[in-house]
Each structure stands twice: as structure tokens, then as C-alpha cells.
Amino acid sequence: MERVVREYTSIREIRGPLLVVDGVSDAAYDEIVEVELPTGEKRRGRVLETARGYAVVQVFEGTTGITPMGTKVRFLARTLEVKVSEEMLGRVFNGLGEPIDGGPPVIHGEWRDVNGDPLNPAARAYPEDFIQTGISAIDGMNPLVRGQKLPIFSGSGLPHNMLAAQIARQATVRGEGEEFAVVFAAIGVMYDEAMFFRKFFEETGAIKRTAMFLTLAEDPPMVRLVTPRVALTLAEYLAFEKDMHVLVILTDMTNYAEALREISAAREEVPGRQGYPGYMYSDLASLYERAGRVQGKKGSITQMPILTMPNDDITHPIPDLTGYITEGQIVLSRELWNRGIYPPVNVLMSLSRLKGEAFDRTREDHANVADQLYAAYSRAVELRSLAAIVGEESLSEVDRRYLRFAELFEQRFIKQGFYENRSIEETLDIAWEILAVLPESELYRIKDEYIRKYHPKYRRRRIAAEAEAKTA
């Protein structure tokens, strides 16, 4: 685009967040616009449609107060950009990337289009390094790898922020000292939520390695759409040009999707499911796919979007379309939370699609143990609801052992403290203790050699034998 700024005063129509500007014939699609009100107030906008004779402009901050008379519309001959640099770590910005922490503006840096470009699948490197989060429900069952996009599906009132914070604090790739840089985008959240994270990052000292982008619930919808793009543009810069391992936390994607719906409605587009636009899948993908690793580069982007499922409904378009794009999901359960279990991870509904890569890099029995825990726990949950109807006594002896297993699994394996950081070995050892409740012939997901090596029965025997050998 040649960089020539053009100015018009010919607003023909104002509709919702849209301005139709007449007499324009050379607006570029996606061009950024500055709108100056007669009061001198400036707002930003973007060209949604350009034609010979008119342009349709979407105003970020909304059109309230704009009058067709005396308002100037300037076409800025560039797309929406943000200035990115390492200086941004340790700082707090608004959704457009402007400092709001009272500090100086970002001085050095490069302007980047916030929309980015799609990563070439032929240039990606498949994610593979196991990230130990210290949380058994995740590491044991659905381990995460560096460069993965793994969302938390939560519900209102559930401790997703706590969990995300615990992960951000504990996450490490073992054998490597380096820390994550954290890029945190709060999208349309309440003030106290934003402050929870800020305080948390300050207390843990992580703030120095964190860039925060905050838009609050009262900010206009268009800004909410821009916020994650600004954050991801910085993340890409840090990961692929500054060799950093970046953890991006996006919260709350439900607010993002609602902004998308609001704007789509204002544009009078044909709505899809529950009023969300038909292109929401592609739009969300344009964010979530900005994660991963690249061949020949050291850095990586690991994404952890957080969303609250309206009415705890996983089939709602927001979690549904997210799950179709992300590499798994961690689903929180109100039922477990009500029973006092933190982190209340519904392991059966949770999934890490890249767990296989992690299993290859942890302990040999990990994959089998996780598989067996799944098989046993899902059977146990089924039996539990059966027992609730027909009574425990009409279950077989083996089935009753499954019930006992489920109890231990929830109380010993899933449940842990906010400050409890378990190594993967600790997690697997707990798993074995619990599996030992079941008859050995039920363990058909675990290879014989691992049973002999890790099953407490054989371990104890071995330890006893070793002790005996020593004394002898």
C-alpha cells in the first residue's frame, strides 16, 4: 500500500458501529482509519468493505456521539499494526498495545500487522517437549507439550484462573533451566480478574517476564477482537525472532466470541448457530493456529486459552468450535468442585492430542498407565451411576473394587494443593498405588514388564528381596 493519508468528511450513514463514507474510491480493504469528531476526540476504525464511491468503516470504539457533520475520516494507508519488542516484558498495555502502567511508551521495536500471516505447515516443527505442570490430572493423564494449544473449558465460578496461574507458575521443561515468557491477554474480563493475575505475576516475580494486555468488560467489542491479535503478534516476535518459549494465556475467549457475534449482528450478516457468525470457526482458528514451533527456530508458542462454557454446555458453539481447533482441552467439572476437589478436572472429557509426544519423553510406563487409568475410571464412573440405582450390593466383587478405585483416583490423584508441585514420577507412583486396588487381571492396558517393574506388589517384594540380600 502506498502510504498516502486521505481525508473525507462525507459520512452518508451511521449504523451500529459502521460508517458509510461516500466519495471514497481508493480505500484499501482492511485499511486503518482515524475518525476525528468535531470535539477533537479521535477514534480508530477499519475498512470492512471498499467499493467505487463508498467505503464501509467499522469504528472500534463505537459510533456513539459521532455526527455526520464535521466528523473527519482519515484513511491511514496501513493495516492495524502494533509495535513489538522485548521491552514489552514486564509491562501492562491496553488491548491495542498502548502502555497503561504509567510507564514510558515502547521506544525500540518493530511495527507488525496484528493479523499476522498463516504459518506454513511445511515450515512448522511438530511439538514434542513435555511440559511438567506439576498437576497430576494434567501431567499424568493429558500431558502438555511445548508449542501446543490447550484451552481450559470452565464454567462461571470455577477456579480456572487459579489453575491457569498454577500452571504458569509451575510449568517447566525438565532438564532445562529456562523459563517461559508469558504473554497474557485479558479479553473483556472484570477488573478484579485482571488484578488477580497482575498480583499473582507480581508476587511470584514472573511479572518481569510477562507482558499483559488488558481490556475490561466495558471496553468496546472491536477492541476485544483486536486484543488477542496484539498479544499473539508480540508472542510470535518473541518466539520466532528472540528464541523465547512463550506461554500465551487468553482469557476469556467467551467474551471474545460474544464481541464477534455483536459485530456480526451490527453488520447484519446471516447468523449461524445461536447467532454466532458462520465464519467464527475460521476466525477462532486465525488466533489458535498462532501457536507452535518452527523449523530452525529455538522458540515456541504454547497457548492456553480459557473460556467459560455458557450453562456448562460443551456443545455450545464457543467451546465446540474451540475444541475443533485446539489440540485438546482441559474440562473443569462443577460436580468435582462442589465436592471440594481442586483442581476439578473432568479427566474423561479432557484430552491432550499431543500426549503421545510427551509419553515418548517421560517414563516408559506413562502411556500404559494413563490408558489404564482412563479405562478403569470410565468403567468405575459407569458403575457408580449403576450402583446409585441398583445398590452396591447388586454389583459383583470386582465391580465394587472399581468403585473404591474411583474414590481414590479422585481424592488422591486428581486432588492436590494450589502450591503442590508433583514431579511426573510422583504422579505415576500415586497412579500405581491406586491401580493396585484392582485385580491384576483387570490391568489389560499395561504391559507385563511394566507391571512387574512398577506394580507396588512386585516393587515391595523386590525391595524386600533386595533388603534381604543385603543383610545376608
Partner 1 sequence: MPVVGRIVRVSGPLVVAEGMKGAQMYEMVEVGEERLVGEINRMSGDLAFIQVYETTTGLRPGEPVYGTGSPLSIELGPGLLQSILDGIGRPLSAIKEVAKSPFIKRGIKVPTLPRDKKWSFEPNKEIRPGAKVGPGDVLGYVQETPLIRHAIMVPPDVSGVVEDIVGEGDYTVTDTIAVVRTPGGEKKELKLMHKWPVRRPRPVARKFDPVLPLITGMRVLDTFFPMAKGGTGAIPGPFGSGKTVTLHSLAKWSDARVIVYIGCGERGNEMTEALQKYPKYKDPWTGRPLLERTILIANTSNMPVAAREASIYTGVTIAEYYRDMGYDVLLVADSTSRWAEALREIAGRLEEMPAEEGFPSYLASRLAEFYSRAGRAQVPGSPKRIGSVTIVGAVSPPGGDFTEPVTANTKRFIRVFWALDARLAYSRHYPAINWIMSYSAYVDLVAKWWMENIDPRWKQYRDEAYKLLLREDELKEIVRLVGTEGLSEKDKLILEAARLLREGFLQQNAFDPIDAFAAPKKQWKQLYAIMEFYHAAMRAVEEGVPVKYIREKLGTLLRELVMTRYKVPNDKVEEIDKLLNEILAKLDEAVKEYKAQTVAA
Backbone angles phi, psi at 79, to 5 degrees: -90, 175
Could you tell me which stretch among 92-100, 184-192, 196-204, 374-382 binds partner 1 (CB under 8 A)?
A: 374-382
The H or E element containing residue 89 is: none
**CA–CA gap between residue 169 and residue 177 (Å, rounded):** 14
Rounded to whole angstroms, how far apart are CA atoms 57 and 31? Answer: 9
- Does residue 49 interact with ligand ADP by CB under 6 A? yes
Check binding of 142 to partner 1 (CB under 8 A): no
| Residue 126 exposed, middle or buried by CB count within 10 Å (0-12, 13-18, 19+) | exposed
Site for ligand ADP in 6-45 (CB under 6 A): 20
Question: Binds 20, which of partner 1, ligand ADP, none (CB < 5 to 8 A, cut-off by type)?
Answer: ligand ADP
Minimal distance, residue 119 CB to partner 1, in Å: 6
Using the minimum distance from each CB to ligand ADP, give the nearer residue, 200 or 359. 359
How many residues touch partner 1 (CB under 8 A)? 84
Which H helix or E strand runs over 166? helix 160-170
Asked if 413 touches ligand ADP (CB under 6 A), the answer is no
Identify which of residues 194 and 307 has a Cβ nearer to ligand ADP in the complex.
Answer: 307
- Are 12 and 24 in contact by the 8 Å Cβ rule? The answer is no
**Which stretch, 96-104, 113-121, 176-184, 247-255, contacts partner 1 (CB under 8 A)?**
113-121
- Interface map 309-348 toward ligand ADP (x if CB under 6 A): ----------------------------------------
Q: Does 27 bind partner 1 (CB under 8 A)?
A: yes
If contact means CB under 5 to 8 A according to the sort of partner, which of partner 1, ligand ADP, none does residue 266 touch?
none
Tell me if 359 contacts ligand ADP by CB under 6 A.
no
Return the residue of 25, 156, 338, 411 that touches partner 1, per CB under 8 A: 25
Task: Give the residue, chosen from 19, 56, 167, 250, that forms a contact with ligand ADP under the rule CB under 6 A.
Answer: 56
Q: Does 155 engage in binding with partner 1 (CB under 8 A)? A: no
The widest CA-to-CA distance across the chain, in whole angstroms, is 100
The verdict on 141 binding ligand ADP (CB under 6 A) reads: no
Closest separation in Å from C-beta 238 to ligand ADP: 28
Distance (Å, rounded) from C-alpha 414 to C-alpha 430? 10
Nearer to ligand ADP among residue 56 and residue 331 (C-beta): 56
Residue listed under C-alpha cell 515450515: 123
- With binding defined as CB under 6 A, does residue 370 bind ligand ADP? no
Are 24 and 8 a contacting pair, CB within 8 Å? Answer: yes
Residue 265 per-residue DSSP state? H
Q: Tell me whether residue 51 or residue 465 sits nearer to ligand ADP (CB atom).
A: 51
> Taking contact as CB under 8 A, which single stretch among the options 194-202, 222-230, 315-323, 415-423 is the one that binds partner 1?
315-323
Measured at CB, which residue is nearest to ligand ADP?
353
CB proximity list for 62: less than 8 A, separation 6 or greater:
17, 220, 222
CA–CA separation, 183 and 213 (whole Å):
8
- Which residue type occupies 47? V
DSSP code per residue over 363-421 = -TTHHHHHHHHHHHHHHHHHHHHHHHHH-GGGS-HHHHHHHHHHHHIIIIII---TT--
Tell me, what DSSP letter sits at residue 101?
S
Site for partner 1, residues 47 to 86, rule: CB under 8 A: 48-52, 79
Positions of E strands within 227-346? 245-251, 292-294, 300-308, 328-331
Q: Among residues 427, 412, 368, which one has the least CA distance to residue 135?
A: 427
**Under the criterion CB under 6 A, does residue 373 sit at the interface with ligand ADP?**
no
Q: Which is nearer to partner 1, 209 or 401 (CB)?
A: 401
Contact in structure between 112 and 81 (CB atoms under 8 Å): yes
Asked whether position 317 contacts partner 1 by CB under 8 A, the answer is yes
Rounded least distance, CB 193 to partner 1, Å: 27
User: Of 329, 248, 322, which Cα lies nearest the Cα of 285?
Assistant: 322
Site pattern 255..294 for partner 1 (x: CB under 8 A): --------------xxxxx----xx-xx--xx--xx-x-x
